[in-house]
Structure formats: C-alpha cells, structure tokens
Structure 1
Amino acid sequence: MVQARRKGKSEPLVRGEAVVRGVLAATLREAARAGYHGLRIEDVAALAGVNKTTVYRRWPTKQELVRDALLSIAGAALTVADAGSLREDLLAIARRIASLGAQAEYQGLYRLFVVEGGDPELVAIVRSLRTSFEAVPRAILEAADRRGELAPGVDPKLLFDVLGAALNRRLFFEREPLDEAWLQQLVDLLLHGALARPRTSR
C-alpha cells in the first residue's frame, strides 16, 4: 500500500507515478463500490493510503479524479501495438476488454453507468474522454489503410462502437464468457460481414 507523505510547501502536486497509479486504482474500486454520487475523496485517499490533501492537489474535484481514473482503464484496454493486421489489432483489444470484464471493478463501473449514466457530470466526463477514445481506433484504421486492408468509407468509430457493444452485451447482459473462439467469430463478422460473396463466373 502506498504510504501517506508529509505535507510541505515544496511538495509536488502528487509525488511519484506509483502514488498516481494508486489513487486512480483506488478511485476505480471506490466508484465501482459506491457509485459516482456515493464516491468521496476521503474514502479514495484512505483506500490509496495517502492524505486527502494529496488527492485534492492534483484533482481539485471529484469529476476530474473520476475522469482520469476512467482514462487510465481505457488506456489499458485500448493501447495496442501494431500487430501487422487489422484482425489481430481488433482481437488484441477484444482480449484486453475480456480480461478487464472479469474484474469486479470493471463490472461495478458498468453498473455505475447503467444506473447513473444520465448524470450531467458523468455525461461531461464521457464527452471529455471522447477525443482520447477515438485516437486509438483512428490510428489502427490508418495503419490498416496503409496496408491496403480497408474498404473505402469505413467509419472507425462505428466499427469500434459495434465491437464494444457486442462485448458488453455478452459480458453484462448475457453473462457469458468471452472465450477465444467467440472473440474470433465476432471480429471476423465485423471484418467480413454476414452476406455471402457473389460467385464469379468463369
């Protein structure tokens, strides 16, 4: 557990990457447990093992803290090195989301958005994260386009929206495992569609 540090006038906003990671991880756990409205900075600080003033120095509001915490989990899910093909990139993202979906914190956060998703502060958080979320799909699709894999007019946001919706439905509504065979079926359906290819005449 990260230990609390003594306050001082020359102290940085938050010392050390380990402290930042600890606070963000504690925020995710507490938000999953208590919900957005029930989340208190004091509880996050206690869970992270730091003084609450340490948290307030870097994140003056709960909204800013939750935003950065959600950005950290999104980054973990969406950061993918170029695997050499669009199929492998999509599978890598799907596997990471499947791994996160097995964690209690991720499931709690999903329930949070289902129950409190219409809250104006949460809506503002999601909107502020949109640019960060869309950067990864754009980069993956640009790499695929350079390799000549893409059909003209493909919308990267729509492709990733459908991928995420299918994964969340399987995880949280159907309560079914995201096994490797199912992930591959999903990605292949997204890439190749359900319609039979027209036969070419000889």
Structure 2
Amino acid sequence: MRRRPGGRSARVQDAVFEATFQLLGERGYEGLSIACIAERAGVHETSLYRRWKTKEQLILDAVNQRVAQEIPAPDTGVLRSDLVAVLQSLRLFLQSRVGQALFQTAVATLHVPELCALRQEHWQDRCAHLQILFDRAITRGELSPQVDCQFLLEMLSGILYMRFFVVNEPVDEMLPERVVDLILAGVKSS
C-alpha cells in the first residue's frame, strides 16, 4: 500500500479542513463548532484543540490552504497573462461550493472581530504571495515601481466579487481578460 505524502498528520488535516468546508456550507458559521468538525472528520475533538485553539483559527488555516491550492501565483513571463490566470482561478474558486460557503461565512461574520482580523491577515498574506507577479513585472519593465500593487489586486478582483455576490450577473471566462486589459491600460497610461 502506497503511503500518502505527509503521513497521518496530513491526512487528518485534510479530513478536518474538508469537514470544515462541508459544515460551513451546510450550517453556516454560527452552526459550526470544533465538536461537529471533529465528528465529521472522524477525529477526536482534543486533537483539533491541540492544533487550533479556536474555530476561527481553524477556518483561517483551512481557507489559506485551499486558496493557495486553488489560486496559485503563475509565472507565464508576462504580467497580463499572469493576472488573467489569477482571475480565472479566482473565478472558478468563487463559483465552487467551497468558494460560495466561504463568502457566505465572510458576510455572516462581519460582526465577529476575531474573524475580521483573521480575514485582514489572510488578505495581507495573499497580497504578499502574489507580490512576486508584480516584482517580476517591474523587473521586466512592464509595471512602474510606484504602482500600489495591493490596490491593483483589489481593483482586479473586486469586479468578480461584485458580479458574483452583489448584482448576481454572469461571470464568463472572458471577463478576467476584459478586466485585466482595462485596468492595465489605466495603470500604463498614468
């Protein structure tokens, strides 16, 4: 029998994260507890508390892992195609069951200070992870070093969130290209 890389610990973490996403989708944040996650994952509750002190930290770790898998930092050699790839990955993620559950959780927990702080931390981590796209573009001369890259990411991704979760308009596979072209044209002309 072939062992999975990472061993038992990785298998347990995968089961816990998957249970977390399933339960968020079924019950929402308020109906989620460490006990129900442990039961769904088939592990003892104390195992979860040893690794995650709160359900908020568990959710953040699960989200960070899933987002890193689903929305990687591409290296196509051109800023435009890197950004289109990121937005395509984000588009597919937001359409997924997990993406929908996470967004609903974010909205439902705007009043929870711990989660607001963790969401901010997650966004900072994602910006730092994707900064390499902009650093390479600056080195290649495609982007001015004066561009606020975090703000640029917010502008690029904001239209997807608006379409999916505010105005409920279609998000076809061409939208990421259109958004990137429009915003990059504005960045290059400024």
* Residue 105 (structure 1) aligned with residue 101 (structure 2): no
Query: In 2 relative to 1, CA 89–194 (structure 1 residues): closer, same or farther, beyond 3 Å?
Result: closer
Q: In the alignment, does 2:150 pair up with 1:154?
A: no
- Deviation, 1:194, is 9.7
1:8 corresponds to: none
Map 1:23-62; keep pairs closer than 5 Å. 23-62=16-55
Report the alpha carbon displacement of residue 126 of structure 1 after superposing the two structures with TM.
1.5
Aligned 8 A contact 2:164 2:171 in 1: yes
Aligned-pair distance for 1:148? 0.8
Give the residue type in structure 2 aligned to 1:94: L
Q: Which residue of 2 aligns with 1:182?
A: 175
Q: Does 1:15 align with 2:18?
A: no
Deviations 1:132-170 (A, max 9, x none): 122123111001111110034111100111122111111
Task: Give the secondary structure class of the aligned counterpart of 2:77.
Answer: coil
- Give the TM-score normalised by structure 1: 0.81
Partner SS for 1:80: coil
Q: Distance in 1 between matches of 2:33 and 2:79?
A: 41
Q: Which runs of 5+ in 1 are unaligned?
A: 1-13, 198-202
Structure 1, 143-152 or 44-53: larger mean CA deviation: 44-53
Equivalent positions of 1:116-127 (< 5 A) are: 116-127=109-120
Q: 1:127 corresponds to which letter in structure 2?
A: Q
Query: Cα deviations across residues 98-144 of structure 1 (Å, max 9, x unaligned)?
Result: 11122222112212222321311111212332431221231110011
C-alpha root-mean-square deviation of aligned residues, in Å? 2.2
User: Partner letter of residue 90 of structure 1?
Assistant: L
Deviation at 1:15, TM superposition (A): 3.2
Q: Structure 2 vs 1, CA of residues 138 and 99 (structure 1 numbering), >3 Å: closer, same or farther?
A: same
- In structure 2, C-alpha distance between the alignment counterparts of 1:194 and 1:64, rounded to whole Å: 36
Question: Hey, what's the Cα distance between the residues in 2 that align with 1:56 and 1:152?
Answer: 44
Counterpart Cα distance in 1 of 2:158 and 2:105: 16
Match of 2:4 in 1: none
Structure 2: unaligned runs, 5 residues or longer: 1-6
SS of equivalent to 2:151: helix
Q: Highest CA radius of gyration, 1 or 2?
A: 1
- Deviations 1:155-193, CA, capped at 9 Å, x for gaps: 110011112211111112232332222221111011113
TM-score of the superposition, structure 2-length normalised? 0.86
Q: How far, CA to CA, are the matches of 1:103 and 1:185 in structure 2?
A: 22
Query: Which of the numbers 63, 82, 95 marks the counterpart of 1:70?
Result: 63
Q: Is the 8 A contact 1:100 1:106 kept in 2?
A: yes
Give 4+ residue runs of structure 1 displaced > 3 Å after superposition: none
